[in-house]
Amino acid sequence: MPNSAVPAVLDHIDATLDAARERLFALLRIPGVSAQPNHDADCAASAMWLSNELEAIGFAVDVLPTAGHPVLLARMAGPAGAPHLLYYGHYDVQPAEPLELWTHPPFDPQLVDGPRGKRIVARGAVDDKGQAMMIVAALRAWREAHGSIPVGCTVLIEGEEEIGSLNLEPFLEQYKDRLGADVAVISDTTMWDIDTPALTTRLRGLTFLEVTLRGPSRDLHSGMYGGSALNPLNALARILGELHDDQGRIRLPGFYDGVREISPAQAAQWEGLRFDEGAYLHAIGLAAPAGEADRPALQRLWSRPTADINGLWGGYTGVGAKTVIASEASAKISFRLVPDQDPQEVAQQFRRFVTERLPKGASAAFQILAAGPGIAINEESVFMRAAAAVLEEEFSRAPVMMGCGGSIPVVESLQRILGIDSVLMGFGLDDDQPHSPNEKFELRCLHRGIRSHARLIGRLAGLG
């Protein structure tokens, strides 16, 4: 293919944007809500619709059963020597309820005017049908403009992302042989803002524990026993109250051993974003930030670990007074982790922290409910450099290397099971309301997303 191949594809994308949007609308009309059993057939229909779409583009496609909803797997070899990309997305969507809060029926997609141009309003508009269809549209544009795609491609679109992807890892294990690729490319994240593209390069990990402190063998009268009997609620509050120091740092010995500072360049880029933490907190009714003192907000959210009590219970919690010393007290605690912290080691640190502080006569039982590492994506890989370059071409602005406070488990699964890194190149915006009524996707983002993916294919094929 000539070096002018990419501009031809981009022209084709611009000329056929309406058709691409119409195809997305057809998929959005299928209410594939993975959480609701009455939509099981719609999940299967979503997979079949995508199967037809990808076959039309020239893929060999299988819709493969799992213990839950089926997974679509499409593959097309590329030219000899070309890299092979594994595209991941999901066709399932969140429940649309409460329906009465939607301005349009959630499964009757509409193109409406918004402050930044036209937007698509529908459940799944951005999460993730709209973003998955950007990729499909980019593949179609290459095929229609040039008759072929200049890289190898595997497309994996699952149907259980919104319910925890429980069957994805078994699927990856089972079909490992058919999933060979050089890199994964995923569009299920956001840009910094509508004019500023982003690559997500940091995902926090998670250690989630439950602890139960036990004291007396039965509930006691606090008058008869108060002053002599151990109170597990007092003890739990005391221990968990020591989790942070006065500066908001976490006091588990060794906790920060694996925590590295981000590079000065990264810190400077984040500083340059002028993130308005005050406005961000004001929207949730808070007047001041929590977390580590003297750390910039985006570091606290993206590159620093946390400890949060997520649940706390014990004793009498009904109406009025009951003077009881309860026999046990429990808490759920999560640690958000950054790369190079070992989630299991953090669980052990917490066990030790609690156990060392147990009053005489108390015992503690622990349950590890989740443990996954934080991830840092190497920004210097050939794929990340290519992604950054095409985003800068498309937006005339270098992409922000963003962190994500939560985790995207598939990234870790792909790394662990298939041994490949991911490029997280998303085109959503913060106000897209992906799990809420009136989910939307800006048409401009869809358009530039298709163009960016088309550019990435061209660049990885060595074309421009």
Sign of the CA dihedral running 77, 78, 82, 85: negative
Q: Residues 44, 273, 370, 418: which binds a second copy (CB under 8 A)?
A: 370
Q: Please say which residue, 106 or 305, places its beta carbon nearer to a second copy.
A: 305
Considering only residues 398 through 457, tell me which ones interact with a second copy, judged by CB under 8 A: 404-407
Q: Find out whether 76 and 58 touch, Cβ atoms under 8 Å.
A: yes
Task: Measure the CA–CA gap between 427 and 7, rounded to whole angstroms.
Answer: 21
Residue 26 binds to a second copy (criterion: CB under 8 A): no
**What residue type is assigned to position 241 of the chain?**
G
Can residue 178 be called a binding residue for a second copy (CB under 8 A)? no
Site for a second copy in 313-352 (CB under 8 A): 313-317, 320-326, 329-332, 334, 336
Q: At closest approach, how far in Å is the CB of 303 from a second copy? A: 9
Minimum distance from CB of 330 to a second copy (Å)?
8
The answer to whether the CB of 27 falls within 8 A of the CB of 134 is no
Q: What is the CA radius of gyration of the chain?
A: 25
Q: Which residues pair with 207 in a beta bridge?
A: 335, 371
Contact between 226 and a second copy (CB under 8 A)? yes
Task: Please say which residue, 176 or 322, places its beta carbon nearer to a second copy.
Answer: 322
User: Binding to a second copy by residue 191, rule CB under 8 A?
Assistant: no
| Of positions 285, 356, 380, 396, contacts a second copy by CB under 8 A | 285
281 binds a second copy (CB under 8 A): yes
DSSP assignment string, 241-285: HTSB-TTS-B-STTTTTT-PPPPHHHHHHHHHT---HHHHHHTTT
Stretch that binds a second copy, among 81-89, 273-281, 347-355, 452-460 (CB under 8 A): 273-281
CA pair distance 248, 327, nearest whole angstrom: 31
Q: Is 286 one of the binding residues for a second copy (CB under 8 A)?
A: yes
Residues 6+ apart with CB under 8 A from 37: none
Using the 8-state DSSP alphabet, how is residue 298 labeled?
H
229 binds a second copy (CB under 8 A): yes
For a second copy, which stretch binds (CB under 8 A), given 139-147, 188-196, 201-209, 450-458? Answer: 201-209
Q: For residue 446, how many other CB atoms are within 10 A of its CB?
A: 25
Residues from 287 through 306 that contact a second copy (CB under 8 A): 287-292, 297, 300-301, 304, 306
Residue of 29, 118, 146, 244 that binds a second copy (CB under 8 A)? 244
Q: How many chain residues touch a second copy (CB under 8 A)? A: 80
